[in-house]
Amino acid sequence: MTFAIGALAPNFTLPDTYGNETPLRDAGTGPTVVVFTCNHCPYALAWHDRLQAVARDYGPRGVRILQINSNDATRYPHDSLEAMSARVAAGEFASPYLHDATQQVARAWEATVTPDVYVIDADGRLAYHGAPDGDHNDESLAAAWLRDALDAVLDGRAADPAETEPVGCTIKWSR
């Protein structure tokens, strides 16, 4: 794996569901969470509300959260841009939901599953990579690994753990 803890995050700009081009980093950007997710995966959906709660809780603390769908919608129509827009319109997302139609961002970030969670510190370096918490089926865990990593980054400490095993559906690559 070349995108390791401490490495600079590959830059990107992707459209959200309204077509607004959204960069990874803006001027004055603080820590950023990038979540590769999708519409149909039971693991992504099981963790979804916990991730939106993180977006709501940490947004006021200067943390930006970007959620990205990179799945091939040709073979998996539930992951189409139209389906993404419908979920956003229904109020299911607490932060921008971006479309990686070419899958170049998922490849550059070496994402493998949904959800796959990355925390980037204010210097643009990878501080945490893995799952939101230890059990998709236990809502009480409240994305604790992600929250701990964000608390560490906001305090200027190293995340511990900095890496956990991402668990979920494989990203659906185009053929």
Partner 1 sequence: MTPVVELLYWDGCPSHPAALADLRAALAELGRPDVELTLTEVTSDAQACERGFVGSPTLRIDGVDPVPPPPGEPPGLTCRLYRRRDGRHSPTPDPADLRDALRRLLPPPTQESRT
- Interacting residues with partner 1 (CB under 8 A): 40-43, 45-46, 48, 75-77, 136-137, 139, 167-170, 172
Tell me the closest approach of the beta carbon of residue 144 to partner 1, in angstroms: 18
Residue (18 or 173) nearer to partner 1, CB: 173
Cα 103 to chain centroid distance, Å, stands at 14
Tell me the closest approach of the beta carbon of residue 46 to partner 1, in angstroms: 5
Residue (3 or 76) nearer to partner 1, CB: 76
Q: Judging by beta carbons within 10 Å of its beta carbon (0-12, 13-18, 19+), is residue 97 exposed, middle or buried? A: buried
Residue (49 or 148) nearer to partner 1, CB: 49
3-state secondary structure of 84: helix
- CA distances in angstroms from 134 to 23, 25, 43, listed in the order given: 30, 28, 12
Other CB atoms closer than 10 Å to residue 60's CB: what's the count? 7
Tell me the closest approach of the beta carbon of residue 47 to partner 1, in angstroms: 9
Tell me the closest approach of the beta carbon of residue 109 to partner 1, in angstroms: 19
Residue (42 or 62) nearer to partner 1, CB: 42
Report the C-alpha gap between 170 and 159 in whole angstroms. 25
E strands, the chain, where?
13-15, 21-23, 32-37, 64-69, 97-99, 113-114, 116-120, 126-130, 169-170
3-state secondary structure of 156: coil
Tell me the closest approach of the beta carbon of residue 70 to partner 1, in angstroms: 14
Residue (64 or 172) nearer to partner 1, CB: 172
